[in-house]
Amino acid sequence: MIDKIPRNELDRLLFNVMAAIYHFEQHKVALFDLNFEAFYLLFFLRRRSSASMGEIAAELNIHISTASRVVDRLEKRNLVSRKKNPNDRRTTLVCLEPEGENMVNLSQNHSYELIKANLKQFNPDDLAAFVKTASAMGELLKTTPRSTKDI
């Protein structure tokens, strides 16, 4: 089946997916005044409750100094906080604060309502195909981050 899809068609499909996600995220950036890295970190912390700077840098695939700057910006907005690790006083954990939890909820509610409204135009077979494709996207692109493997 894959051999029947021309290369230029796969390239076009991938670009369309990237463009849709990019513009969707840019809308959220403008709406909530947070960049994609910051949103991802908030969602990551919600699943973990806390993480060290090293874990954050590894998850976001960025240098630890860049991770520190992302955390600094979120901390200034009271979305996260730094706390001493009770198990190892030499390390600091980044924790999601109630304002950060609220931001995640607002973002998720926005996405849910928008997607729910738009999915009403899909027939049941197309809806099932969408769910199957979205569920397999990380495996398809071989980008499934560590934080989502157990979900």
Q: Per residue in 93-118, pLDDT tens?
A: 999 999 999 999 999 999 999 999 99
User: Where along the chain do its domains lie?
Assistant: 34-120
Q: Is 9 helix (H, G, I), strand (E, B) or coil?
A: helix
41 pLDDT above the threshold of 90:
yes
Residue recorded with tokens 């690790």: 85
**pLDDT at residue number 58:** 94
**pLDDT at residue number 27:** 92
User: Within 13 Å of residue 45, how many CA atoms lie on the same side as its CB?
Assistant: 32
Residue 146 pLDDT grade (very low, low, confident, very high; cuts 50, 70, 90): low
User: 47-88 pLDDT, tens per residue?
Assistant: 988 999 999 999 999 999 999 999 999 999 999 999 998 888
**pLDDT at residue number 78:** 97
Residue 134 to residue 140: CA distance in whole angstroms: 10
Cα–Cα distances in angstroms (integers) from residue 99 to residues 39, 55, 81, 96, in the given order: 13, 22, 11, 8
* Right CATH for 34-120 from 3.40.50.1220, 1.10.10.10, 3.30.70.270, 3.10.20.740: 1.10.10.10
**pLDDT at residue number 150:** 42
Residue 84 to residue 92: CA distance in whole angstroms: 5
What's this model's pTM, rounded to 2 decimal places? 0.80
Residue 123 to residue 131: CA distance in whole angstroms: 12
